[in-house]
């Protein structure tokens, strides 16, 4: 294995990888040498396109449907992955509910809360338990990376930030407790993105977009590739002595 291929010979599962951050993670992991299993909820076309891009890197890829809000769907996906791949070296829980664009934006406050708690928190917990169970049976264990939010450490004004803080703060706290529970065979770490250019960033007012960049110490929005770099590191042998840690990928807004 070389620095150019830190994940050579490894297999990774990335949930919610049909677009945005998840897709960026899947592509970066493939370019780093990993074979990929990616999941999607509603965007099958995006999943197929992501799979084609991964195949173009020369890596093996499979994709499958999974509803993170449905425990039976998570269990079925974990079973299918374990039957399809020879082993699972890393499992990345990136999938989450959308409450800021499309139909999610129009939901009531309570409906948004219920959705986030069911998908982002409960779903991540169930998927993490399944991943840890599969990895514990492997000779070399494995790595779980859960996606949270950098502002859970400081808070942010507004209704949607309150909701995200509750769900993603739970993900962070759960991940730390899980890391102690499944060590030393399985490592569990957290990546906490900040302002990342996904569908939300592309759709906001230009002045608001520029204000975010100006208030960020590194003077720009992040990209899915920025988040992917942190995930690839945590999934690689270079991070073999890290567990229960959080990497903020937010340009220094939260330090």
Entry pTM: 0.95
Residues whose CB falls within 8 Å of the CB of residue 247, separated by 6 or more in sequence, listed in order: 189, 190, 191, 192, 230, 233, 234
Residues whose CB falls within 8 Å of the CB of residue 43, separated by 6 or more in sequence, listed in order: 18, 19
CA distance 71 to 78: 11
**Res. 2: pLDDT tops 60:** no
**Res. 202: pLDDT tops 80:** no
- Per-residue pLDDT, 129: 98
Q: Span 12-26, mean pLDDT?
A: 97
Q: What percent of the chain has pLDDT over 90?
A: 94
The active-site residue out of 40, 63, 149, 164 is 164
- Per-residue pLDDT, 200: 77
- Per-residue pLDDT, 190: 98
Name the token pair of 80.
């299918």
Confidence band (pLDDT; 50, 70, 90) for 3?
A: low
Interval 76-91: pLDDT, tens: 999 999 999 999 999 9
SS3 248: strand
Is 209 an active-site residue?
no
> For 11-195+224-248, CATH number?
3.40.50.720
- Per-residue pLDDT, 20: 95
Name the token pair of 186.
């399985």
Give which of 36, 66, 231 is closest to 145, Cα–Cα.
Answer: 231
- Per-residue pLDDT, 29: 98
Q: Span 39-62, mean pLDDT?
A: 97
CA distance 29 to 249: 17
Q: What percent of the chain has pLDDT over 70?
A: 99
CA distance 217 to 252: 5
Distance of CA 150 to the CA centre of its chain: 13
Interval 105-129: pLDDT, tens: 999 999 999 999 999 999 999 999 9
Q: Taking all residues of the chain, what is their mean pLDDT, rounded to a whole number?
A: 96
- Per-residue pLDDT, 1: 42
Return contacts of 128-134, CB within 8 angstroms, 24+ apart.
Answer: 128/91, 128/93, 128/174, 128/175, 128/178, 128/188, 130/74, 130/75, 130/78, 131/13, 131/78, 131/88, 131/91, 131/93, 131/186, 132/178, 132/182, 132/186, 132/188, 134/78, 134/81, 134/82, 134/88
Angle (CA) 234 238 243, round 5°: 50
**Res. 43: pLDDT tops 50:** yes
- Per-residue pLDDT, 201: 74
CA distance 69 to 116: 9
CA distance 90 to 13: 6
Confidence band (pLDDT; 50, 70, 90) for 4?
A: confident
Q: Span 222-251, mean pLDDT?
A: 98
CA distance 239 to 237: 5
């Amino acid at each position: 294995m070389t620095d150019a291929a830190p994940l050579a010979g490894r297999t990774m599962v990335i949930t919610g990888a049909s677009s945005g951050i998840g897709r960026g993670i899947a592509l970066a992991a493939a370019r780093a040498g990993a074979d990929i299993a990616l999941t999607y909820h509603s965007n099958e076309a995006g999943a197929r396109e992501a799979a084609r891009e991964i195949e173009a890197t020369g890596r093996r890829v499979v994709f499958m449907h999974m509803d993170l809000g449905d425990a039976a769907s998570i269990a079925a996906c974990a079973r299918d992955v374990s039957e399809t791949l020879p082993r699972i070296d890393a499992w990345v829980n990136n999938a989450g509910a959308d409450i800021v664009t499309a139909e999610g934006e129009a939901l009531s406050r309570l409906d948004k809360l219920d959705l986030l708690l069911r998908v982002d928190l409960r779903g991540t917990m169930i998927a993490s338990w399944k991943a840890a169970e599969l990895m514990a049976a492997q000779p070399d264990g494995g790595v779980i990376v859960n996606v949270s939010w950098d502002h859970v450490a400081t808070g942010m004004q507004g209704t949607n930030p309150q909701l995200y803080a509750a769900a993603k703060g739970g993900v962070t706290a759960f991940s730390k407790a899980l890391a102690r529970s499944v060590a030393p065979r399985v490592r569990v770490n957290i990546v906490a993105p900040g302002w990342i250019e996904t569908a939300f960033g592309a759709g906001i007012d230009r002045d608001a977009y520029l204000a975010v960049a100006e208030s960020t110490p590194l003077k720009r929005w992040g990209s899915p590739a920025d988040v992917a770099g942190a995930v690839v590191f945590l999934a690689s042998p270079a991070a073999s002595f890290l567990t229960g840690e959080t990497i903020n990928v937010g340009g220094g807004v939260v330090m």
